[in-house]
Structure 1
Amino acid sequence: MIFIPLPFVVALLLVILLVQMVRRNEADLRENIAFMLLIAAYALQSVLIGIRWGYDVRAIMPFQSVLATLIAPLAWIAFSGLTKEPSAHRLASLWPHLLPACLVVLLLIFWREPVGPVIILVFLSYGAALLWLALAGPDVLVESRLDGVLRSYRSLLVTALAILASPVTDIIISFDLEWTGGTHSGAVIAAANVLALMLLGSAAAVASETAASDEEEEDVSHAQTTPRVTSEDSAVAAAVDALMTSKYLYKDVDLNLGRIARRLGLPARQVSSAVNRVHGSSVSQYVNGRRIDEARRLLAATDEPITRIMLDAGFLSKSNFNREFLRITGLSPKAWRRKYRPPKGTMLAISLPGKGK
């Protein structure tokens, strides 16, 4: 019977995930390159782990160490890239993140003892940085498409926690090697690799910016709102309203907070705070409310298929459209059309029932 280590299966699944991302038409390969490199790194690491623990090839361990010090920086680069406007000079600022890997290479050549602690320190540092980034709330991901920003935010949290958990795994393995000679290390590695698959599944969802899952979303940033609304907040929120009304900006399926802020010439955080305080919702919920209003108008006034209306209103994902429509109106799009569409030959009422925020 042929023995296939579990990490090899994980690597295969990651490769399939990577191929799907490359082939997906809506994904911009240049914008998603960091996430793709992250998945590729995890796939390669899974292969190395399978060789090391499946076949006890210890010579592979230096390659594992170097690759490990690239994975955490890649995660940081990928997610931090969603917090700022793409720049042609961004690649020039990435070189410091290669320093941990360079340091590990030098240590492997001249002094191997500190390699383990250095890798643990790298993961703890980048994990803490990702967690600190997440504390700012979902609107910090200004370059993430509003149609799926909450899932992007969840993926950021999962990634931060998983990277912070990785040093714990290394410590457990070290103790196991010292106390039992590595009796349980294989099982620990296998479990950690499955966790890595879950992590990369989330990261891939962010990279391709698919819509959130069908489960009900909770607006994380809503808990951070304050009831105090300043005149400046009102002015910014009014400017956002005017932009949506005059330019129909909500119809852009790739719309994100960064793009709105750039159109207004304001910092993204200022726009997010103003919308949050004035409307009592995140920017994504505000824009989705506008989209649902447009969808209801089209459902009542036209014979267009619901999928066509979904796209015209600014949604890219059917699951997200259905979930938001149900949240705001209490009905599915099909049921709403059946209930509220006027008989042929009658004039459509100007005000729509159940208007969302």
Structure 2
Amino acid sequence: MIFVPLPFVVALLLVILLARMVRQDDWAEQEKRPFLLLIGAYSLQSILIGIRWGYDVTGILPAQPVGASMIAALAWVSFRNLATENRASLLRFWPHILPSVLIVALLIFWRDPVGPVVTATFLAYGAALLWLARDGPDALVSSRLDGALLSYRSLWITGVALIASATADIAISLDLEQSGGLHAGAIVALGNVITLLILGTAASIASGSQSIAATPSEPPAPPAPSQEDDTIASALENLMRSRELYRDPDLNLGRIARKMSLPARRVSMAVNRVHGVSVSQYVNDFRIRAACQALVSMDEPVTRLMFDCGFISKSNFNREFLRVTGTNPTEFRRRRRHKSEAVATQPTLFVSR
């Protein structure tokens, strides 16, 4: 019987995710490119782990820390690119190749610090990702509003996973010193495989290639709005109603801010303070109201109405519809039409004079 290491299976799953992303028409968009590279790096690293621990090929060991450092840097670049309004070249992130260059140099001249350097790299990038997440979903100004919340949660998952991986490395190092690390190899392999699968799925979700069901948490109470906040919120509402921007499936916070000639953060603050929601929820409220009107007045399939109102993911649409109306689209249509029919069939009472 042919032995297939578990990391190879994980690599295959990651390659399938990558293929799904490439098949999409918009895979070449600049915000997608880092995620394509990131999932490709996850796949390659999983293959290296499989070769090392599945077939005990020790000659491949030097490639693993280099790949690990590249993964941490690519994770940061991918999400940081979603938080950037301008569409400058990805070459602006060139300093993030330096950790990998440093590890290559250490492998050549002085191997002892390689492990601590990789651990420090994971800790640093994990902390940077969590710091990026501090501003909420609206920090990802280039993420489609239809999936901004999922991208934000993927950001948290990736940051926590990097820190957890670094913590595990520290724990394994202590185990090696105290007990010789009898099971350290198996722990490293299994932990890396699970981490890569989680990170690959998170990257796929963040890039917009798929979605998962989720219930948004309640945000903290925003500060009282200022007069400027009211003015910005009013201008945004007029823009939404007059031009129906919410119907654009590619709409993001950066695009809204450019149409208003304002910084994205300023628009986000105004919406949060005046309406108490994120920009993605604010826009989705318009989309759901339009969907409700269409469901009652038109006989088109729900999926088509979903696309017409600006959603690109059925799970996101159903989740947001439930949040706003308390029910699903099919049941909403049935109830409203039944109510309309009941009103129409009621007898009219005429009072004679």
- TM-score, length of structure 2 as denominator length: 0.91
Name 2:299's counterpart in structure 1.
303
Shift of 1:179: 4.2
Percent of matched pairs sharing the same residue? 55
Q: What are the equivalent positions in structure 2 for 1:1-357 lying under 5 Å apart?
A: 1-88=1-88, 90-189=89-188, 190-211=190-211, 213-219=212-218, 222-223=219-220, 225-226=222-223, 228-341=224-337, 342-343=340-341
Q: Distance in 1 between matches of 2:39 and 2:336?
A: 46
CA contact (8 A) 1:141 1:149 kept: yes
Q: Distance in 2 between matches of 1:23 and 1:171?
A: 40
- Quickly say closer, same or farther: Cα 1:237–1:320, change in 2 above 3 A: same
Structure 1 stretches of 5 or more lacking a match? 347-357
Moved more, 308-317 or 230-239: 308-317
CA contact (8 A) 2:233 2:271 kept: yes
Q: Distance in 2 between matches of 1:150 and 1:104?
A: 35
After superposition, give the CA deviation of every residue in 1:196-245 in whole Å (9 maximum; x if it has no partner): 2112101111113544x2342225xx31512x111000000001101101
Partner SS, residue 207 of structure 2: helix
Shift of 1:29: 5.0
Q: Distance in 1 between matches of 2:185 and 2:4?
A: 13
Shift of 1:171: 2.1
CA contact (8 A) 1:27 1:208 kept: no
Q: Distance in 2 between matches of 1:72 and 1:326?
A: 36
Name 1:351's counterpart in structure 2.
none
- Quickly say closer, same or farther: Cα 1:67–1:34, change in 2 above 3 A: same
CA contact (8 A) 1:299 1:306 kept: yes
Structure 2 stretches of 5 or more lacking a match? 345-353
The count of residues paired between Structure 1 and Structure 2 equals 341
- Quickly say closer, same or farther: Cα 1:269–1:73, change in 2 above 3 A: same
Paired letter, 1:340: R
Q: Distance in 1 between matches of 2:149 and 2:34?
A: 20
Q: Distance in 2 between matches of 1:152 and 1:259?
A: 17
Shift of 1:250: 0.5
- Quickly say closer, same or farther: Cα 1:105–1:214, change in 2 above 3 A: closer
Shift of 1:296: 1.3
Shift of 1:26: 4.7
Q: Distance in 2 between matches of 1:297 and 1:26?
A: 30
Paired letter, 1:253: P
Name 2:351's counterpart in structure 1.
none
Q: Distance in 1 between matches of 2:5 and 2:306?
A: 44
Q: Distance in 2 between matches of 1:224 and 1:58?
A: 55
- Quickly say closer, same or farther: Cα 1:244–1:29, change in 2 above 3 A: closer
Shift of 1:181: 4.1
Shift of 1:307: 1.3
After superposition, give the CA deviation of every residue in 1:100-145 in whole Å (9 maximum; x if it has no partner): 1111111111111111111111111111111111111111011111
CA contact (8 A) 1:146 1:284 kept: yes
After superposition, give the CA deviation of every residue in 1:258-309 in whole Å (9 maximum; x if it has no partner): 1111110111111111111111211111111111111111122222221111
